[in-house]
């Protein structure tokens, strides 16, 4: 976690350097330079966020340089973790800034909900009032609203702290969260960003979250589920990893076919934490620039009067859709013409 946080900080600085001086990240003069693998991972993250792109014109050596995209330039103006910044950029577009400012500030802090091993069951029971049946991100919004009401009606600081502790909530972490939220709110207000007055929909909130968390999606492994009966590890993650649901998750086996996670934590296993159900079409919409598409079994379609093929799309190895009928000629005009002659 510390190494990841340090790398994110370095990447944030690199974004500023990349924007202002056009120095590629591998040549950035870090005082404590990360290893080559870390730089590759960092560039992979920037690519995942849509923050970098290849130049349209090659340089004198005939190579296409990497440069900041419009999204990357916008991220460079935000002194935030790039993932958080990307989510907030999307939240502004999706009219979900109010909810995502709450969620983003929670993601930047330690979870205020405590779950001591000896009282795990009692803590889970106490936290049920903040639970959402589809999204643990929305649990942050419910907890935030509860905390604001509690602050409004508190009789004393001690009374509020006792109330928090009775619900297995850390008063100190709640205060830290409120401070970070306040700082974030001021930062965005100074940039002229306005919060939505109408509550955002589930889709708006989670589409915005996806823009910063594409590497943290999971899909149920149907083959494993058929064999073992939907076990906790029956989820495939990006780039070939297998994910397990965090034991303390309020969603548990109710996650569904697809989820997005707020973080992936490695202990004895790779655990996905802070989960929300999502729809694959949202992934397609957010990640259309990252999808890898392939066509198979071209055929003449009499009804449409053209050659079609079945399209399959994957994101980091995960099948987002398959079996979609699309026109074949734009992909292989010659073969489409041959099939037209043979079958039409």
Residue 45: pLDDT band with limits 50, 70, 90: confident
Looking at the domain assignment, is residue 62 inside a domain? Answer: yes
Claim to verify: residue 115 and residue 28 sit in the same structural domain: no
212 by DSSP, 3-state: which? helix
Question: Where among 162, 186, 206 does a domain terminate?
Answer: 206
Q: How many residues does the chain have?
A: 344
Looking at the domain assignment, is residue 88 inside a domain? Answer: no
Question: Where among 279, 308, 325 does a domain terminate?
Answer: 279
User: 245 pairs with which residues across the strands?
Assistant: 272
* Rounded distance between C-alpha atoms, residue 321 and residue 324, angstroms: 7
Domain that holds residue 121: 93-206
Question: Where among 279, 299, 334 does a domain terminate?
Answer: 279
Looking at the domain assignment, is residue 11 inside a domain? Answer: yes
* Rounded distance between C-alpha atoms, residue 80 and residue 106, angstroms: 13
23 by DSSP, 3-state: which? coil
* 234-253 residue pLDDT tens: 899 999 999 999 888 888 87
Tokens describing residue 251: 């969603």
Tally of structural domains, the chain: 4
Burial letters 181-220, b for 16+ CB under 10 A, else e: beebbeebeeeeeebbeeebebebbbbbbbbbbbbbbbbb
* CB 138, CB 276: distance < 8 Å: yes
Residue 20: pLDDT band with limits 50, 70, 90: very low
Range among 148-157, 225-234, 249-258 rated most confident? 148-157
* CB 85, CB 188: distance < 8 Å: no
Q: Closest Cα to residue 138, out of 12, 303, 250?
A: 250
pTM for the whole structure? 0.86
């Amino acid at each position: 976690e510390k190494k990841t946080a340090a790398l994110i900080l370095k990447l944030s600085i690199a974004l500023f350097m990349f924007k202002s001086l056009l120095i590629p990240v591998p040549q950035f003069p870090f005082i404590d330079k990360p290893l080559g693998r870390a730089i590759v991972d960092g560039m992979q993250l920037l690519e995942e966020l849509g923050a970098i792109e290849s130049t349209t014109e090659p340089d004198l050596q005939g190579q296409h340089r990497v440069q900041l995209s419009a999204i990357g330039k916008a991220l460079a103006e935000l002194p935030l973790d790039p993932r958080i910044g990307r989510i907030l950029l999307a939240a502004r577009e999706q009219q979900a800034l109010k909810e995502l400012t709450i969620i983003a500030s929670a993601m930047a802090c330690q979870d205020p909900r405590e779950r001591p091993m000896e009282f795990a069951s009692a803590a889970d029971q106490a936290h049920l009032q903040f639970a959402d049946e589809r999204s643990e991100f929305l649990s942050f919004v419910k907890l935030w609203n509860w905390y604001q009401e509690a602050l409004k009606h508190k009789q004393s600081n001690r009374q509020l702290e006792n109330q928090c502790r009775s619900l297995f909530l850390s008063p100190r972490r709640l205060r830290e969260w409120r401070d970070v939220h306040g700082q974030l709110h001021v930062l965005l207000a100074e940039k002229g960003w306005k919060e939505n007055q109408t509550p955002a929909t589930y889709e708006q909130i989670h589409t915005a979250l996806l823009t910063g968390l594409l590497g943290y999606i999971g899909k149920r492994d149907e083959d494993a589920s058929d064999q073992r009966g939907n076990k906790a590890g029956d989820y495939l993650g990006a780039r070939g990893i297998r994910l397990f649901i965090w034991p303390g998750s309020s969603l548990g086996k109710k996650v569904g076919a697809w989820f997005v996670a707020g973080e992936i934590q490695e202990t004895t296993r790779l655990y996905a934490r802070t989960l929300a159900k999502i729809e694959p079409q949202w992934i397609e919409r957010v990640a259309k620039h990252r999808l890898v598409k392939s066509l198979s079994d071209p055929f003449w379609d009499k009804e449409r009067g053209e050659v079609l093929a079945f399209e399959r799309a994957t994101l980091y190895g995960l099948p987002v859709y398959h079996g979609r009928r699309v026109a074949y000629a734009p992909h292989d005009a010659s073969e489409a013409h041959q099939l037209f002659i043979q079958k039409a």
